[in-house]
Amino acid sequence: MANAKALLGSGIILSVLGTVLFILSFALFPSLINTATRNAVIDAVVVDSPNAQRYSDWEGQQSVENLYLQYYYAWNLTNPEQFIQGKKPIFNQVGPFNYKYEYENDNVTFLDNGNLVEYTQVKKYIYLEDSPFDPTQVSITNINPAFLGLMFQMSAISSLIDLPAEDILFAIGGCGQMKLFLEYLNSDTFTEIAYFVSNPALYLNQYNAILKSLSNNQIYFFEQWANGTSTPTKGHGWNGMLVSFNSSEPSGITLESAQQIFNEANELSIINQNSGYTTWINAMLEDKSSIELLKNNLNITETQISTIIDWWINSFAQVYTNPFFLKQCDIPDLTYLGVCQFVSAIPLGGKSIVSIDFIQQPYTHGPIEIPLSTTIKLDVKPVVAYQNLFNPNSATNILNLNGMIAFIESVKSFSFSDYNISLEDGLLIITYSTIDISASYTFDTVQELYNTTSGLVVTRTVDEWLWTCEDGILDFLGVDQPCALQQNNTVNKPSIVFTGKDDLAMTNVYFEFQEQTTLTCWNGPVNVSAPTESGQFPPLQGIQDTIQIFEENTFRPVLLIRDGPSQVEGIDTQRYYLQNNSFPVSSVFNTLIPGFANLTTMQNLPLYVSLWDMYEVPPQYSTNYIQGLNQTWASAQVPLDLEPITGNALYYNLKLQINLALPNNSKWFSKSSMYNKTVPETITNGGYYFPSFKIGQTAQPSDSNVNLLKSQFKEMKTVQVAPVIIFAVVGGVLAIVGVTMGIFGYKKLKAQREGYKVIA
């Protein structure tokens, strides 16, 4: 049985943004008008096989031929600095941002002799270039849902140990900090620095061996070192010891310079362990002052400096230092060198990278290596540590949030056998990652991300908010989860609906929604047996006072109330509105505040769906604390015009809003946090609620479909057939509430609309 989280689909709040199609049939041709009207309606509405009259339309072709418009208005926080300090937030709305919606029903299987149909739906959204605003160029500041979701999950842990959720983040964030450490230690820069640290002792060993074979002829050695282009005839052991070996011409380094380069007492010597080797490291890193210092004091040119460095790390180190590292670290190759430094500090001779004073030094707040930070030696070998702790492709990788939590939970069993390490090593690594580096490194890293790509309040382009968002803290924690509000080319789990073949009253009614006949994600069972959001209601059911839709993205049925007769392009319809008190208080649906559809437990972040501008939400949760809302029925109404004979919706204007919340008294933020003043003490009604995006949906048929409808309508007028029209305008609706309709006659209908007008 799927759980609530499995129902959500992709993305943080993708499930509230859209999986609907509108199916209105064009199948009533003039030749059928004079006979068997009822059968013609059934033939046009019921899709019970691939040979059905409008199967291709139902499958998705109508969404390609017609314009199904999904439009967005972004709420922009205009005073973010003041808001963070506890002032009332001020919002304005920016938009619309228009997208064409297309869908395709895949993996279609007809069941029960055509009485049921199973399918999955693929959805995509295409930006309309003639939109008034370019989503890639408009930046919006607002509350970050990725950060809220993270704090919401941390708060579950903080309640157990009486620490703010943010402090838990700083502790568990050690997984991301270790990942950064290892990324640096595995870099070419670190390997080259390790050469400069370890090469001197290895060089002196080989130098003394060669001198012994030369009867201590130092002059000959340095002359050959500097300018010998082939193996010298005297002595032995020259492999990797000649700076000009195999060169077309000698380096030109003088004897005096060569002697000073390897004079340990010279503070600029490459083998001087006080300051010389760090000057050479800086020269390798292209520090101009270090290069000038070496040139002036050693009487060598910049080209000669580059030649020496190249020999030091690419010739000498390959012959002598690499085998030394492999043996000392007990590793098969240098890909494990960074891990060796991290768990043993062997490559730097027992020293921390922090102890080396060079430009571009990334770490200054204490040792980053585990045994040097904790002052206790680990027993685990580098290869074992990599394979069982630091391998990104391993299920036991602890360099991400989920992996670190699982690692910490191993303490309950007093065993880290799953990681092939001892209990002592496991406890030492937990102490290191959650305590030792938390204050010295993780805190600063997270705070920096607050100021750049993450945190409570962020600025992103609309395109990033909707589709391409990347959140710095999620990346830091290795959380592989999109932070955009929506995703393209998404695929839902399979659903099964009644086709209406055996019972017209069941046409387009769910039998199984995303593999469930009864939802178990709420505080009580919720039956999915209601019409889908496709806009096709059961035909030939007469005029009904109420109609119901199973709203698949808020996981509940919604009710529409008949207001009275209406007309769409001269066709008699019945007008319905989404019921007042559309999201009432309900223990089943965890709704504590009227007007807010609470999706917190299902989305793993405090997310609430409402009508536009938080209409129907009491002022103590909306207008009392937020400037910029315009709560009017005219703006928030959700109308639908239904042609009752065919069961087709001919007009709709869907308008819903995503809202996010900060719980009061939640202990989310630490005392030192930049956000600890954001929620005023006057907020005592369960939370602080903020508008995020308004989302709407409407449609515009193609000219060919409009002309076809007009000709059919004229034919029916001639034979005095009752004004029954069957036509198809298929549309994808955003997935929060799914009342939809097909559009008939765009130009004339435009003047009758009560809400958002389709942009030509």
What is the full DSSP assignment across 220-289?
HHHHHHHH--S--SSSS--TT--TTTT-SS-----HHHHHHHT-TTSTT-TT-TTTHHHHHHHHHTT-HH
The C-alpha angle with vertex 144 and arms to 143 and 150, in degrees rounded to 5, equals 130
Both tokens of 104, joined, read 């395709």
The one-letter amino acid code at 567 reads Q
> What pLDDT score does 489 carry?
78
User: Bridge-partner residues for 688, per DSSP?
Assistant: 662
Question: Binning pLDDT at 50, 70 and 90, where does residue 726 land?
Answer: very low
Cis preceding linkage at 525, omega within 30: no
Write out the DSSP string of 347-386: TTTT--GGGS--TT----SS--SHHHHHSS---S-HHHHI
Give the Cα separation of 690 and 658 in Å (integer).
Answer: 9
Residue pointed to by tokens 């917190």: 600
Sign (positive or negative) of CA dihedral 15, 557, 728, 572:
negative
What are the tens digits of pLDDT across the range 197-214? 999 999 999 999 999 999
Question: Binning pLDDT at 50, 70 and 90, where does residue 704 land?
Answer: low
What DSSP character marks residue 577? E
Identify the top-confidence range among 8-22, 457-471, 715-729: 457-471
The pLDDT mean for the chain works out to: 84
- Mean pLDDT, rounded, for 508-516: 91
Give the Cα separation of 736 and 578 in Å (integer).
Answer: 13
> What pLDDT score does 521 carry?
85
Say which residues have a Cβ less than 8 Å from residue 709's Cβ, sequence separation at least 6.
Answer: 26, 569, 701, 725, 727, 744, 745
The one-letter amino acid code at 266 reads N
Global pTM?
0.79
What DSSP character marks residue 223? H
> What pLDDT score does 194 carry?
98
Both tokens of 55, joined, read 């199967």
**SS3 assignment for 133-176:** CCCCCCEEEEECHHHHHHHHHHHHHHHHHCCCHHHHHHHHCHHH
Does the structure show a pLDDT above 70 at 77?
yes
Residue pointed to by tokens 């309309």: 128
% of the chain residues with pLDDT over 70: 86
Does the structure show a pLDDT above 70 at 218?
yes
- Mean pLDDT, rounded, for 308-331: 97
> What pLDDT score does 666 carry?
60
Cβ burial 92-127 (10 Å sphere, 16+ → b, else e) = ebbbbbbbbbbbbbeebebeeebbbbbbebbbbbee
Compute the chain's Rg from CA coordinates: 35
Q: Give the H or E element holding residue 469.
A: none
% of the chain residues with pLDDT over 90: 60
> What pLDDT score does 14 carry?
34
Q: Look at residues 577, 698, 567, 556 and name the one whose alpha carbon lies nearest to residue 638.
A: 577
> What pLDDT score does 123 carry?
86
What are the tens digits of pLDDT across the range 589-611? 989 999 999 998 888 889 999 99
> What pLDDT score does 108 carry?
94
CB-based burial label for 512 (10 Å; 0-12, 13-18, 19+): middle
> What pLDDT score does 318 carry?
97
3-class DSSP state for residue 554? coil
Question: Binning pLDDT at 50, 70 and 90, where does residue 35 land?
Answer: very low
Does the structure show a pLDDT above 90 at 40?
no
- Mean pLDDT, rounded, for 524-550: 89
Check if the beta carbon of residue 660 is closer than 8 Å to that of residue 616: no
| Count of CB atoms situated within 10 Å of the CB of 208 | 11
- Mean pLDDT, rounded, for 182-209: 97
Write out the DSSP string of 675-697: TTTSS-TT--SS-EEEEEEEEEE
Between strands 518-519 and 526-527, the pairing is: antiparallel
Give the Cα separation of 326 and 337 in Å (integer).
Answer: 8
Give the Cα separation of 500 and 43 in Å (integer).
Answer: 10
What are the tens digits of pLDDT across the range 154-163? 887 776 777 8
| Count of CB atoms situated within 10 Å of the CB of 272 | 20
Does the structure show a pLDDT above 90 at 737?
no
The one-letter amino acid code at 227 reads N
| Count of CB atoms situated within 10 Å of the CB of 285 | 14
Give the Cα separation of 731 and 63 in Å (integer).
Answer: 6
Give the Cα separation of 684 and 558 in Å (integer).
Answer: 30
What are the tens digits of pLDDT across the range 617-634? 999 899 988 889 999 999
What are the tens digits of pLDDT across the range 360-387? 999 999 999 999 988 889 999 999 999 9
Lowest mean pLDDT among 54-58, 110-114, 693-697, 738-742: 738-742
Question: Binning pLDDT at 50, 70 and 90, where does residue 721 land?
Answer: very low
| Count of CB atoms situated within 10 Å of the CB of 221 | 24
End-to-end CA distance of the chain: 46
**Residue 311 CA from chain centroid, whole number:** 45
Between strands 495-498 and 139-143, the pairing is: unpaired
Give the Cα separation of 95 and 612 in Å (integer).
Answer: 14
Lowest mean pLDDT among 118-132, 146-160, 689-703, 745-759: 745-759
- Mean pLDDT, rounded, for 242-248: 92
Check if the beta carbon of residue 45 is closer than 8 Å to that of residue 539: yes
> What pLDDT score does 705 carry?
52
- Mean pLDDT, rounded, for 354-362: 93
Does the structure show a pLDDT above 60 at 717?
no
> What pLDDT score does 702 carry?
56
Question: What are the C-alpha distances in Å from 77 to residues 39, 138, 143, 172, 483?
Answer: 56, 13, 8, 30, 19
Q: Would you say how long the chain is, in residues?
A: 760
- Mean pLDDT, rounded, for 276-287: 96
Question: Binning pLDDT at 50, 70 and 90, where does residue 78 land?
Answer: very high
Check if the beta carbon of residue 689 is closer than 8 Å to that of residue 661: yes
